[in-house]
Amino acid sequence: MPVGRLPIRCPVHDTLFCGMEQLSTHHRESHSAMNLTPPTIKTILRDGLKKGLDGYLWLLKILVPISFITMLLVILEVLKQYHVIGKIVRPLGSLLSLMGVDRRMGLLWLTAVLFGLAYGSAVIVEEAREGDFSGNELERLHASIGINHAVIEDPVLFIPFGVHPFWLWVPRLAAAKVAVQFVKCWQRRHSKKRSEPAAR
């Protein structure tokens, strides 16, 4: 090729070459498709069992939490009938007072702390509806369990990674205590603002 001259490409040649290449590729794909062997009964059964197992596991992911929550509600009703809840919650009175939560909310607090909010929410909502709790008491409870919940599940997940139990429990308890005290101060200040116009 002479120096300083660019190669000249022929559009017709390029088009024909691309078309022939596509035909060749299509021919190879058709030939390979014709040579494919049909699936055997063993393969069909294996694929069917695999899809069935995947569907079964998907259903378990939905049914197991629902069954667990239902079981908690049933156990709660049984404990109520035999007046066992008071005996369980009574030893927690000092801890609840320290955390700034009313002692009557011991069952709600214990449910969230042990089972978490995902599994214990049904019990918490049911008890909150049946119990005679004020809005301020529920706000303090939410502030506490919103920070400090699932104290069994989280350590099981993080302790194998080398996290010390101290950092999994103590900071959360302290943060929950601070949050409840902050909510208490806000509630007092808000109630004072409401009472001032009434006094005038």
User: Is residue 20 one of the residues assigned to a domain?
Assistant: no
User: Is residue 27 one of the residues assigned to a domain?
Assistant: no
User: Is residue 28 one of the residues assigned to a domain?
Assistant: no
Which structure tokens are listed for 162? 């080398």
How many structural domains is the chain composed of?
1
Query: In which domain, by residue range, is 133 found?
Result: 53-199
φ, ψ at 148 (rounded to 5°): -110, 95
Mean pLDDT of 91-103: 89
Mean pLDDT of 29-38: 54
Rounded to 5°, angle at Cα 66 from 62 and 68: 120
pLDDT on residue 199: 54
Q: 56-70, 116-130, 164-178, 183-197 — which is least confidently predicted?
A: 56-70
**Nearest-CA neighbor of 99 among 175, 190, 153, 155?**
175
User: Is residue 161 one of the residues assigned to a domain?
Assistant: yes
Confidence category of residue 7, pLDDT binned at 50, 70, 90: very low
pLDDT on residue 17: 46
User: Is residue 177 one of the residues assigned to a domain?
Assistant: yes
User: Is residue 2 one of the residues assigned to a domain?
Assistant: no
User: Is residue 15 one of the residues assigned to a domain?
Assistant: no
Q: Given a cut of 70, is residue 30 above it in pLDDT?
A: no
User: Is residue 59 one of the residues assigned to a domain?
Assistant: yes
Confidence category of residue 28, pLDDT binned at 50, 70, 90: low
Mean pLDDT of 54-65: 80
pTM: 0.63
